[in-house]
């Protein structure tokens, strides 16, 4: 599935940052802008460390059926409902398998016969991969915005969707491509909306009923915790008719019936989400997270747009530019300048702008600005980018 604009790293370049290292030189504090897994908010990280110093037993060692852990699980569900204003007609699960598991779980739960139609709105790498997996378990109708060169720079049309679809699937933030739906669409057909919100959940409010959300899932490792658990929000009327081929670990109906304890849940990961949600609510909730996301991304985009071409981004339409993941190139993608940029950033602790992916690497770096990245850290990044641009222009002739 490699994109046509992707290339591989120079195999002879062994500098740590060019190999995807996230560890800066000794003694330098890292500022992690990785697309995920990524850093936790500082207060959350401190609270997690305190778990191992507490007199009570840490959830890493608790039985998933113990009363102590049941309290934690109940707290996660309640805090998630409060933080994201989730109505009572939705169930909340903590599931295994990550986003890739949900690529299969959605059709296996919503298409019991296996040949039902489901519309897939493809606007980037992850919705395209979800489509590929879902094609094994349903009959996808594809509405794509892919350009002839394999890139994505806009969203597909929401008009004239097939009303016979069992659901309409979309990814609300495409991390690789830098495209985000800042508000979920109201599609005007009866089919429920299924949302992959893995990289933007908890960063903006959701109109659950008005947008006809049927299923929404989010991996924890961007904005809510670390890898190993996926939050799934399922409207209750969609339960009860899974495919007979749906494994229990992916079955919404089975997991709801068993109180999210059909098998051993990821106990420690769930407690981390609980701590994160507590922090998020204390900070001012999802509306404050949205304000911060707008402010943080604006710092970087404003610098790019005012750089007179030294920095560039593939998404020209501000209304769909991702607040979570800002793709940008340096000096038009010049390899030597980009390498200097990455190394100088790494020496200052700025890491995660280029990471190894299944798709290789292209000319675009990415600054990922999840909840755990503070406004001050983004100020540091923007200041470095401005200083590097000034120095590079003094050294060489750039536009």
User: Which residues are known catalytic residues?
Assistant: 126, 196, 222
Q: Is the separation of the CB atoms in 353 and 329 below 8 Å?
A: no
The beta strands (E) that lie in the chain are given as 31-32, 90-95, 117-122, 139-144, 168-171, 173-174, 179-180, 193-196, 213-219, 230-235, 311-312, 325-330, 350-351, 365-368
Q: How far apart are CA 17 and CA 46, in angstroms?
A: 27
Q: Is the separation of the CB atoms in 398 and 330 below 8 Å?
A: no
Q: How far apart are CA 261 and CA 140, in angstroms?
A: 32
Residues with Cβ within 8 Å of residue 294, at least 6 apart in sequence? 323
Alpha helices (H) in 93-204, listed in sequence order: 98-110, 125-134
Tally of CA atoms within 13 A in the half-sphere of 286 that contains its CB: 17
Q: Is the separation of the CB atoms in 357 and 316 below 8 Å?
A: no
Q: Is the separation of the CB atoms in 98 and 230 below 8 Å?
A: yes
CA 146 to chain centre: 20
Q: How far apart are CA 319 and CA 105, in angstroms?
A: 31
The encoded tokens of residue 306 equal 């005012």
C-alpha Rg value of the chain to the nearest Å: 21
């Amino acid at each position: 599935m490699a994109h046509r604009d992707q290339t591989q790293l120079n195999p002879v370049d062994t500098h740590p940052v060019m190999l995807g290292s996230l560890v800066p030189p000794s003694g330098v504090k890292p500022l992690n802008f990785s697309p995920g897994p990524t850093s936790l908010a500082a207060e959350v990280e401190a609270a997690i460390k305190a778990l191992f110093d507490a007199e009570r037993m840490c959830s890493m060692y608790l039985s998933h059926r113990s009363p102590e852990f049941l309290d934690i699980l109940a707290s996660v569900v309640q805090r998630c409902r409060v933080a994201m204003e989730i109505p009572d007609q939705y169930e909340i699960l903590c599931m295994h398998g990550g986003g890739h598991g949900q690529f299969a779980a959605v059709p296996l739960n919503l298409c019991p016969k296996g040949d039902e139609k489901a519309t897939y709105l493809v606007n980037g790498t992850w919705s395209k991969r979800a489509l590929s997996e879902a094609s094994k378990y349903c009959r996808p109708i594809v509405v794509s915005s892919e350009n002839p060169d394999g890139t994505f720079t806009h969203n597909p049309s929401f008009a004239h969707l097939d009303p016979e679809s069992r659901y309409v699937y979309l990814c609300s933030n495409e991390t690789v491509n830098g495209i985000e739906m800042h508000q979920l669409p109201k599609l005007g057909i009866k089919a429920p909306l299924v949302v992959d919100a893995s990289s933007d959940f908890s960063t903006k409010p959701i109109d659950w009923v008005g947008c006809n959300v049927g299923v929404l899932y989010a991996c924890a490792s961007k904005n809510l915790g670390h890898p190993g658990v996926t939050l799934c929000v399922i409207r209750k009327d969609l339960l009860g008719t899974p495919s007979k081929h749906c494994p229990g670990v992916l079955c919404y109906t089975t997991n709801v019936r068993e109180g999210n304890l059909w098998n051993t849940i990821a106990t420690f990961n769930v407690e981390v989400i609980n701590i994160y949600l507590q922090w998020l609510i204390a900070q001012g909730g999802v509306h404050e997270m949205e304000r911060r996301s707008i402010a943080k991304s604006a710092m970087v985009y404003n610098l790019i747009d005012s750089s007179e071409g030294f920095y560039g981004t593939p998404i020209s339409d501000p209304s769909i530019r991702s607040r979570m993941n800002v793709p940008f190139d340096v000096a038009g993608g010049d390899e030597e300048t980009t390498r200097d940029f990455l190394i100088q950033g790494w020496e200052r602790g700025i890491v995660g702008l280029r990471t190894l992916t299944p798709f290789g690497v292209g000319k675009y770096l990415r600054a990922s600005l999840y909840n755990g990245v503070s406004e001050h850290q983004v100020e540091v990044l923007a200041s470095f980018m401005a200083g590097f641009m000034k120095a590079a222009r003094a050294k060489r002739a750039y536009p």
